[in-house]
Amino acid sequence: MNRLPFLQSPAPKASGSDVFDYKSWREGFLLVTLRIACVLGVGLITISFGTATNTDKILFISLYLLLLAVTFLPITYNIRAFALTLMVYAIGINSILAWGPWLDGSIFFILFVTLTGLLFDERVDVFALLISILGFAFIATLQQAGSYQFKDPNVPATNLVDWVAYGVDFTVVAGIIIVAINLFKREFAHILSQMQHSFGALTAERAQLEDRVRERTEELEAQTAQLRISTIVARTIAEIQDISELMETATRLTSEKFEYYHVGLYILDEQKRTAFLQASSSLTGKQLIGQGFRIEADRRNIFNQAVEQNRAVITSDADIYGFIRDPNFPLTRSRMTMPLAVRGSVIGLLDMHSDQLLGFNQQNAEILQTLSDLIAISFDNARLINETKNLLNQLNLGTSFETRETWAKLTTRNKPAYQYTPAGVRPVFSALRQDYSDGLKVPLILNGQTIGAIKLKRKGEFTNWSDRERGLVEKIAEQVSLALENSRLVDEAQKSALRDQMIASISTRVRETLDVESVIRTATTELRRIFDLKEAEISIGSPQADATSASKHTGSLRLRG
């Protein structure tokens, strides 16, 4: 159930933290109490107005107006708290003056002490207890001395014992309430202190976590940016096939994108003992390349460690004993050397220098190692492509030379040219060749070698040839060249097959008998028949047919076909 809006306590003031604030709670409690008192006060005045004296009526109305003023006027907390406790005290005094210690006077005094303990700091409630005791003690003194009589004549007579008993009871109850409130406030303050301490620890831990999250986020953003840069560099390098351009581009882009003032690329020799500087992004490095700069194997050298361990090696001048300053690069404060490895074998090194104290870390090493591997793969691919191109060039040269020799031999055995005439196609010999200086001449090219030419001449006076016609003739010339080569290859294949068939036939006939004389006779006959010879002779044994060799069963058998 929702409360009435004017009975709700105001929202606590916004602060930098959400820790419970006792002062803010006390202000809200006071304001709610005053508003409740304003509502209940109307009913109490209405009920007691008919029986109250004129003095009581004036007192009640004045106190209610004061209650309204301190409730709704913008005044300070201390004034409101003091006014509320004063009104309760005044009502308690008025009740004692009217009915003595027999009715609700003690209730208002206890309420006065309780509100003082709740609304003020320590020792103020003790002062409230004292003035309460002094107040009804003063009234008791006047009443016992006969100087004052109660307003209500029906009030029973009181003696000193009644007042003392009333004072003792009130003091005991009020004292218990004061002690209880003070213990509650102390325990509450202790709990609040622990809560504030815990909240402070949580706030500090939260701040640390936020710092860690922010640092981790920055690291991830930096790594993402470096990965993006590595991808761009790798994509650019992968498109280059010239090795020199590839190395220069790799060092330049790595230096520009990652903001390192010097990046050098070294290639190892076959023994992996000497590293030769091949590319550099800095002017000093370029000068060293011109001087043939190299680095020999050394146990203390960072290059040797990177090659042997096949991993990145990071050094900085913060390490007094491990950092070796390079006299060629005096601005270097941190340095990282990455191995260029292909299929587990180190072929080179990527040497990076930074003028920052901690320019490299493990995250940089992981990303740059990936880039170094891509550079090594691109370098190896470019090397293989160049070797393949060189091999293809050698093959093309060999094919071209073989084509030239083959067609040179072929053209010496066949008709050199053929010409179209109205009577048909006829061979043209060298002595009968005509001049086609005013016609079109297109060479027949095969494997880069000119094996012939097509010569065309128009009828009539119009002798010019358009580019389209020339292109068409060139395409026809290409097809003619291919057709001639195919024809030559088919002819060679047929001849080769015929030779193989001839050899197989002779071998079959020769193997039909095991008699030596029959074998020789058959072989001689087949050779004379195949080659259409006048005479064929097969000799066996030593060519000298003397008596000594004959006695030793050596000699020569000659059969003439």
Most confident of 99-103, 239-243, 440-444: 239-243
Q: Which of 502, 537, 541 is nearest to 520 (CA)?
A: 537
The residue count for the chain = 561
Whether residue 97 is found in the same domain as residue 159: yes
Of 388, 403, 430, the residue that ends a domain is 388
Q: What is the mean pLDDT of the chain?
A: 79
Element (H, E) at 262: strand 262-268
Q: Which band of pLDDT confidence, cut at 50, 70 and 90, is reported for residue 43?
A: confident
Rounded to whole angstroms, the Cα distance separating 286 from 280 reads 6
Question: Is the confidence at residue 556, as pLDDT, over 60?
Answer: no
Whether residue 133 is found in the same domain as residue 247: no
| 6 CB neighbour count, 10 Å cutoff | 13
Q: Which of 445, 454, 391 is nearest to 420 (CA)?
A: 454
Question: Is the confidence at residue 546, as pLDDT, over 50?
Answer: no
Q: Which band of pLDDT confidence, cut at 50, 70 and 90, is reported for residue 191?
A: confident
What mean pLDDT is predicted for residues 372-386?
Answer: 87
Question: Is the confidence at residue 385, as pLDDT, over 80?
Answer: yes
Per-residue confidence (pLDDT) for residue 266, from 0 to 100: 92
Per-residue confidence (pLDDT) for residue 317, from 0 to 100: 81
Has residue 229 been placed in a domain?
no
Per-residue confidence (pLDDT) for residue 549, from 0 to 100: 44
Per-residue confidence (pLDDT) for residue 278, from 0 to 100: 92
Has residue 395 been placed in a domain?
no
Whether residue 375 is found in the same domain as residue 516: no
Q: Which band of pLDDT confidence, cut at 50, 70 and 90, is reported for residue 539?
A: confident
How many domains is the chain partitioned into structurally? 4
Question: Is the confidence at residue 209, as pLDDT, over 90?
Answer: yes
Question: Is the confidence at residue 12, as pLDDT, over 70?
Answer: no
Has residue 408 been placed in a domain?
no
pLDDT digits 0-9 by tens, 474-516: 888 888 878 877 887 888 888 888 888 888 877 887 777 777 7
Of 181, 203, 225, the residue that ends a domain is 203
Rounded to whole angstroms, the Cα distance separating 49 from 57 reads 7
Whether residue 497 is found in the same domain as residue 529: no
Per-residue confidence (pLDDT) for residue 389, from 0 to 100: 85
Q: Which band of pLDDT confidence, cut at 50, 70 and 90, is reported for residue 460?
A: low
Pick the range with the lowest mean pLDDT from 8-12, 192-196, 324-328: 8-12
Has residue 546 been placed in a domain?
yes
**Encoding tokens for residue 543?**
């060519």
Whether residue 553 is found in the same domain as residue 419: no
Per-residue confidence (pLDDT) for residue 560, from 0 to 100: 47
Residues paired with residue 444 on neighbouring β-strands, in sequence order: 452
pLDDT digits 0-9 by tens, 79-137: 888 888 888 888 888 888 777 777 777 888 888 888 888 888 767 888 888 888 888 78
Most confident of 51-55, 187-191, 334-338: 334-338
Has residue 351 been placed in a domain?
yes
Has residue 218 been placed in a domain?
no
User: What HEC string does 309-365 produce?
Assistant: HCCCEEEECCCCCCCCCCCCCCCCCEEEEEEEEECCEEEEEEEEEECCCCCCCHHHH
Whether residue 84 is found in the same domain as residue 183: yes
Has residue 409 been placed in a domain?
no
Phi/psi-derived region of residue 301, left when phi > 0, alpha when psi is between -120 and 50, beta in every other case: beta
Phi and psi torsions of 336, nearest 5°: -135, 130
Per-residue confidence (pLDDT) for residue 316, from 0 to 100: 85
| 523 CB neighbour count, 10 Å cutoff | 17
Per-residue confidence (pLDDT) for residue 1, from 0 to 100: 42
Per-residue confidence (pLDDT) for residue 24, from 0 to 100: 82
Has residue 58 been placed in a domain?
yes
Whether residue 36 is found in the same domain as residue 63: yes
Q: Which band of pLDDT confidence, cut at 50, 70 and 90, is reported for residue 29?
A: confident
Q: Which band of pLDDT confidence, cut at 50, 70 and 90, is reported for residue 438?
A: low
What mean pLDDT is predicted for residues 519-535?
Answer: 77
Whether residue 166 is found in the same domain as residue 191: yes
Whether residue 180 is found in the same domain as residue 291: no
Whether residue 195 is found in the same domain as residue 110: yes
Element (H, E) at 295: strand 294-296
Question: Is the confidence at residue 7, as pLDDT, over 70?
Answer: no
Rounded to whole angstroms, the Cα distance separating 234 from 313 reads 22
- More confident: 414 or 485: 485
Of 371, 388, 405, the residue that ends a domain is 388
**Encoding tokens for residue 247?**
């190395």
Q: Which band of pLDDT confidence, cut at 50, 70 and 90, is reported for residue 194?
A: confident
Q: Which of 499, 557, 507, 508 is nearest to 531 (CA)?
A: 499
Amino acid at 384: L
Q: Which band of pLDDT confidence, cut at 50, 70 and 90, is reported for residue 543?
A: low
Whether residue 21 is found in the same domain as residue 107: yes
Phi/psi-derived region of residue 229, left when phi > 0, alpha when psi is between -120 and 50, beta in every other case: alpha
Per-residue confidence (pLDDT) for residue 19, from 0 to 100: 55
pLDDT digits 0-9 by tens, 137-178: 888 887 777 777 766 666 667 778 878 888 888 888 888 888
Phi/psi-derived region of residue 69, left when phi > 0, alpha when psi is between -120 and 50, beta in every other case: alpha
Structural domain harbouring 522: 512-560
Rounded to whole angstroms, the Cα distance separating 132 from 399 reads 128
Rounded to whole angstroms, the Cα distance separating 48 from 234 reads 96
**Encoding tokens for residue 443?**
């060479």
Whether residue 120 is found in the same domain as residue 173: yes
Contact 528, 561 (CB under 8 A): yes
Per-residue confidence (pLDDT) for residue 415, from 0 to 100: 57
Phi/psi-derived region of residue 248, left when phi > 0, alpha when psi is between -120 and 50, beta in every other case: alpha
Phi/psi-derived region of residue 105, left when phi > 0, alpha when psi is between -120 and 50, beta in every other case: alpha
Question: Is the confidence at residue 213, as pLDDT, over 80?
Answer: yes
What mean pLDDT is predicted for residues 9-26?
Answer: 58
